[in-house]
Structure 1
Amino acid sequence: MSAPLIIAVPKGRILSEALPLLAAAGVRPEPAFSDEDSRALRFATDVPQIELIRVRAFDVATFVAHGAAQLGIVGSDVLAEFDYSELYAPVDLAIGHCRLSVAEPVALAERDDPRGWSHVRVATKYPHVTAAHFARRGVQAECVKLNGAMELAPTLGLAPRIVDLVSSGRTLKENGLVEVERIMDVTSRLVVNRAAMKTRGDVVPLVEAFRRAVAGRQAAA
């Protein structure tokens, strides 16, 4: 019997949107997957040779790129940040809609013009995307790497600006920040390990099942 096919799925807000697509593609996790008290990270599904692992969103790309999982669901923001050559992203799942943006305190924004920036200090967990974005504009970016609580950086003097994901903008507003520049729109993608796609016969049919699931969802909308 061949090794199980492993799909890496992200913890957090995208997961609730991803589960219906998984089901539409014919993959449903075991009941323990929905147990909020469970500390398990690896789960069986109703397809005997398919398993799920639940990891941090940023780690999905790493697990798939290195072949520890054959497929995964991950935001285009993560793909842009890591740019793994081992990853192929054949399907835009059209879920997890948000944007990656520059934000700063309201008081600063009232007297600030992004067109005049020549150097910025930014707190972000996307240093590569951020630096590349500003480099295209001829702006030097000094990036302070944070993994969370980005909104604290300006108020505590770590960096006057942040680059982070924005959905409704509520978190920014509650922390006295305002969006001043959009870097990229973000959706979640199905990613595949390139080597697995060539060597495993069970990968392509599952990719096609996801493609049909997305098409069906869009047709019903």
Structure 2
Amino acid sequence: MTDPIILAVPKGRILAEALPLLAAAGIVPEPAFSDEDSRALRFATNRADIDLIRVRAFDVATFVAHGAAQLGIVGSDVLAEFAYSELYAPVDLGIGHCRISVAEPADMAAGDDPRGWSHVRVATKYPHITRRHFEARGVQAECVKLNGAMELAPVLGLAPRIVDLVSSGRTLRENGLVEVETIAEVSSRLIVNRAAFKTRAAVVPLVDAFRRAVAGMEQAA
């Protein structure tokens, strides 16, 4: 018997938006998937040939790139940060909309102009995206790598600016920060391991099912 296709999905905000798309593509997780007390990480679905794993967003790309999962759902921010050559991103799922932005304390921003920067020190979980963005403008970027609580960095003197995902901007406002520059718009993508796309017969129909699901959602909207 062929091993089931593994679809990696991210914990957190994107997952809630992804579930209707999964259902529209014909994939319904077992009830334990919705159990908030469950510590399980791998789940069966209504299809015997498809299992889900639920991991951190950054790890979705790693599992799929290395072939441990054949497909995944992940933000375009993660794809840009890691730039795995083994990944193919055939479908923009039209969910998880946000942006990668530069933010700084409001009092600093009042007299600041990003066009005049020559050197910046930023706290971010996106050091590669950040460096590429600033290098393209001839700005030297010193990146302090953090995995969370980015908004504390300016307050505690770790770095005067941050580069982070922004959705509503509420977290920034509540921590006295304002956006001063947008680096990239972000949405979630269906990603596929390139080798699996060529060798696993069930992968291509799944990609097509997600395409149809996205088209159906767009028409309904």
Q: What one-letter code is carried by the residue in structure 2 that aligns with 1:175? A: N
Q: Secondary structure at the match of 1:104?
A: strand
* Other-structure match for 1:34: 34
Q: What one-letter code is carried by the residue in structure 2 that aligns with 1:103? A: A
* Other-structure match for 2:95: 95
* Other-structure match for 2:214: 214
Considering only aligned residues, what root-mean-square deviation do their CA atoms show, in Å? 0.3
Q: CA deviation at 1:102?
A: 0.1
Alignment of 1:30-109 (within 5 A): 30-109=30-109
Q: Count how many residue pairs are aligned between Structure 1 and Structure 2.
A: 221
Q: What one-letter code is carried by the residue in structure 2 that aligns with 1:98? A: C
Which of structure 1's runs of 4+ aligned residues deviate more than 3 A?
Answer: none
Q: Secondary structure at the match of 2:190?
A: strand
Q: Distance in 1 between matches of 2:151 and 2:101?
A: 12
2:205 is aligned with 1:205: yes
Q: Distance in 2 between matches of 1:186 and 1:23?
A: 23
Q: What one-letter code is carried by the residue in structure 1 that aligns with 2:209? A: A
* Other-structure match for 1:132: 132
Identity of aligned residues (%): 82
Q: Secondary structure at the match of 1:178?
A: strand
Q: What one-letter code is carried by the residue in structure 1 that aligns with 2:75? A: G
Q: What one-letter code is carried by the residue in structure 1 that aligns with 2:61? A: A
* Other-structure match for 2:117: 117
Q: CA deviation at 1:49?
A: 1.0
Q: Secondary structure at the match of 1:133?
A: helix
Q: Distance in 2 between matches of 1:104 and 1:213?
A: 39
Q: Deviations over 1:88-118 (max 9, x none)?
A: 0000000000000000000000011101000
* Other-structure match for 1:22: 22
Q: Secondary structure at the match of 1:72?
A: strand
2:145 is aligned with 1:145: yes
Q: Deviations over 1:168-209 (max 9, x none)?
A: 000000000000000000000000000000000000000000
Q: What one-letter code is carried by the residue in structure 1 that aligns with 2:98? A: C
- TM-score (normalizing by structure 2): 1.00
2:183 is aligned with 1:183: yes
Q: Distance in 2 between matches of 1:160 and 1:61?
A: 30
Q: Distance in 1 between matches of 2:100 and 2:28?
A: 31
Q: What one-letter code is carried by the residue in structure 2 that aligns with 1:138? A: G
